[in-house]
Amino acid sequence: MAPMGIRLSPLGMAVFCLLGLGVLYHLYSGFLAGRFAFFMLSEPAAAAPAGAVDLRELLAVSVLAAVRGGEEVKRVREGNVLNAKAKGKTREGAEEQLTSGDLLSNRRMFYLLKGAFPAVQINSEERVDTADQETVSWDRSIPEDIKQKIQPKEVPAESVTVWIDPLDATQEYTEDLRQYVTTMVCVAVNGKPVIGVIHKPFSAYTAWAMVDGGSNVKARSSYNEKTPRIIVSRSHAGKVEQVARQTFGNKTVIIPAGGAGYKVLALLDVAEKNQEEADVYIHVTYIKKWDICAGNAVLRALGGHMTTLTGEEISYTGSDGNEGGLIASINMNHKALIEKLPDLEKTSHK
């Protein structure tokens, strides 16, 4: 109520209110406009394209998956609770072994990758039991060495296929030949291997590489093309040795070894006392793609080659097997090597 003797004019009150609103507008309009502009500009940048996968993130979780799987492999072997059993026979008639290490590593690796990238197709050597599902989370952190060498790169999720080998060299694992054992993850985009991770559980060594990105491993600088050291599977050494010596000369060194991952590492500069060195890796029979995809990606990233024995590129889509054998090399004339080995292709389909 106004003091006695003073009458408030309706017009004056209206003018006063308008002045107050004007002051408030000038005080807050800049702030509100700035906040609105920030919202409009920042929202699109924060939103990732629907169905896209960042390959740098996928590399980071692939390294973690290989290490976590390797922890299971090592724990089972050191506890001597392998529970080994035959799961079938190879095309050559050899018994294929399955252990608790294979199964526990597979579960850990599969569910870590699936939880981080649910839209991506994952192919594994071992069957995934949905009744035994495990929740394995990833905090989306990226190791510093990957941050420094790899830039973010997005690709459509539907173009990606992940191949995991939860325990490479199972036969050698049962024989306690630990140096041959690896866990591996490979990422293929439109069938081409672009990310490879090879982890040695018993020495904690991990090699990784991304095509057109970077790597933490490099090729060796010295090779002998005239009398190369050829690394082959322990079970296939006899098939390769005679033809290899006829082709490259009697001084050719044949290195029998277990595990496809180990054989690829033999072509690289790996500072490991239990890692042999070779110039060429040859496999003359049918082989599964989860055995070779990671090694193929690492070699491609470093400028090397892994092809069938006739020189064809291996596609990592469709079936899980490669019928044409393989030959792998780096810093060598790969085409010339293929031309020297025409007879080996005949045995690759057996």
HSE, side-chain direction, 13 A CA sphere, residue 126: 28
CB 298 within 8 A of CB 265: no
Three-state SS for 60-112 is: HHHHHHHHHHHHHHHHHHHHCCCCCEEEEECCCCCEEEECHHHHHHHHHHHHH
265-to-2, 141, 179, 208, 315 alpha-carbon distances in Å: 93, 27, 11, 11, 21
Task: Determine whether 170 is an active site residue.
Answer: yes
CA dist 128 and 6 (Å) reads 88
165 annotated as a binding-site residue: yes
Of the chain, the end-to-end C-alpha distance in Å amounts to 106
Amino acid identity, position 111: Y
Ranges of H-type helices in 183-288:
237-248, 260-265
Residue 4 CB neighbours (<10 A)? 5
Distance of CA 108 to the CA centre of its chain: 15
167 annotated as a binding-site residue: yes
| Structure-token match 């981080």, residue found | 116
265 annotated as a binding-site residue: no
The count of residues in the chain is 350
Q: 100-116 and 55-79 helices cross at what angle (nearest 10)?
A: 160
126 annotated as a binding-site residue: no
CB 191 within 8 A of CB 313: no
CA dist 248 and 347 (Å) reads 19
241 annotated as a binding-site residue: no
Tokens of 122: 């994952």
Nearest to 166 by CA among 292, 57, 73: 73
CA dist 246 and 249 (Å) reads 6
Catalytic residue among 99, 161, 170, 183: 170
Catalytic residue among 54, 90, 99, 102: 102
- Give Cβ neighbours of residue 159 (< 8 Å, ≥ 6 apart): 189, 190
Task: Determine whether 269 is an active site residue.
Answer: no
Sequence ranges of the binding site for Mg(2+): 125, 165, 167-168, 291
Could you list the active site residues?
102, 170
Binding-site residues = 125, 165, 167-168, 291
